Structure 1
Amino acid sequence: MASHRRPSQPGFTHGARITVLSAAAATAAAAFGAAPPASAEPHETAEEARAKVDRLYEEAEKATERFNKAEERVERLRERVTQAQDRVARGQEAVNRMRTALGSLAGAQYRSGGMDPSLALLLSEDPDGYLDKAVTLDRITERQATALSDLREAQRRIGQERAEAGRDLAELEQGRRTVARHKRVVEGKLAEAQRLLNALSARERAVYDEGRASRSGRGDSLPEASGPGPASARAAAAVAAARSAVGRPYVWGANGPSSFDCSGLMQWSYAQAGVGLPRTSQAQRYAGRRVPLSQARPGDLVTYRSDASHVGMYMGNGQVVHAPYPGASVRYDPVGMMPIASVTRV
């Protein structure tokens, strides 16, 4: 028996329309800054959400150090490109001057030697004067040959500089894309962490904040002085700078003076002491001499995790100062707050 069901209408089904509208709403919410649901898992507990936030912060910090490394490389490439372009410009000016000088020499040669030398000597009424002129002509010819050789060498150097500048420019553009990619990764992880935090109730958020505080034993007050002091005057100056930064906010990718990420705080603090540190915690790990934790002194850099993706400055009495994570400020924490990778004396 033939079916008399009404054929489906072209277009979206009811379910599909709901799906599309939901997607559109989520897109619009993202575009205008509204926070979508914090988790794709509706039965996720508050404790699981808090653990996920901690993991996202750790992943974001690692991505931040990759961003810092890429940005540092971009800055070096930018300087190299600028210097190469300056050298090319100066070289071109030198080539232009050489061409002008060659033109003058060619004119002098033409005026002095426009006739076969033997015929000119035969017809000359003053052979001695002509011979003197011929010597001058030889000198002009020799100078012309030298100038021509110098010109060719200068043109060769300019060609090399232009080629190197072109390669550096291409590498710079690639570096900029790398920086942008790392930036998107960091921002994505931080945004996800913030959505999870926003989904917690006020009580759950307070428990989370208290839990972080108790785990770290954090504080904003200066640790009591005990044990040996800084190993050098520059370490003492860096310690003073780091202390002055306590209370300033963590901002990823920042290196002072009003906000910092972890390696940015170390770089800025030592810059106040006249010491240039690399930008990333991984590179700062090798910026001096390794010492055992038992011999740590104020001003030493303490890197954490096996990949050295976090860094703080030892302040004495078992404390470090560091920029911990988004939403927190520069503060003191126990040196053993997380697994230690190395202690470096700058």
Structure 2
Amino acid sequence: MTDPLHPALDFSDFFTQLQHSELAPWVDPLQQRINEKLTRLNHGDMPGWLAAFDALPELTSDQTDLDRGSLLIGTEQGCSSDQHQQLEQAMRQLMPWRKGPYSVFGVEIDTEWRSDMKWDRLKDSIAPLHNRNVLDIGCGNGYHCWRMLAAGARRVIGIDPSWKFLLQFRALKKYLGELPVELLPLGIEELPQKMQIFDTVFSMGVFYHRRSPIDHLLELQSFLRPGGELVLETLIIDGDAQQMLLPADRYAQMRNVWFLPSAEALCGWLERCGYQQVRCVDINQTSIEEQRATDWMQYHSLAQFLDPNDPNRTVEGYPAPKRGLFIAQRAY
């Protein structure tokens, strides 16, 4: 078991802050779930990740900008050359970096996903986040959580069960300080049900990993306050309201892909689940400029998942990844 008192795994300040917020009724169940996971934590890579966290130099950010493509956390002038090298070495011990990009005291973390491109597609279509409590499900290392805060959110909670993503998030937060953003190492099924507290719930890149899509839509609804907004981004296919793809095995080399509906079909599913004002606001075929291997994510990426003779097909012969962005409201 890893020592739960390590600063990278310590959530006590977060839960203390929640005691004085609208989320106060949910502090005890959330804290219990986190403590249970920490008690069982026995990940073989965790000692190395914690060592990387401990190796991060002590720096104070001289400039921060969370409302830009590559999130700016300190400048190269804010650290010495030795500290810059120490910082880069520690951050590289937390590779692969999938969501971003980030610029941290001059260390340019060029992530697999240009997550800023997705944000640019959705930011003008969603309800303004000013003063909203926001939940980001499957948030990765939290890139979009910081963008949500910069857009005016009162508090952002991201959830993702990956411990590595948590360590990446905590490495960045070390230099960002006590902002009202937290990443909890939980899956959606580990959240207390029927919280009905969040003004906006984001589920981006999660839907197609769920074996029961209707249950997922209802689950998302249970976290929203009446009138709250769901922002759902997922893989889709072309077609009418009856069209849906259920891959036989892998899709774009991913094993855990289940349902890829057409945009019209997914709108119908959302309405059937009781959502109102359902609309698809963007459809975009993923490009190799948006998802690609980099020096910070050196494994295969989208270019290797597509048919080399036809970029509009996956290596398995399915339509290439196309993503739809859907917005809906929970009924009052």
Q: When the two structures are superposed, what TM-score results if normalisation uses the length of structure 1?
A: 0.20
Q: Which has the higher relative contact order, 1 or 2, with Cα contacts under 8 A spaced 6 or more apart?
A: 1
Structure holding more helix per residue? 1
Larger Rg computed on CA atoms: 1
Q: When the two structures are superposed, what TM-score results if normalisation uses the length of structure 2?
A: 0.21
Structure holding more strand per residue? 2
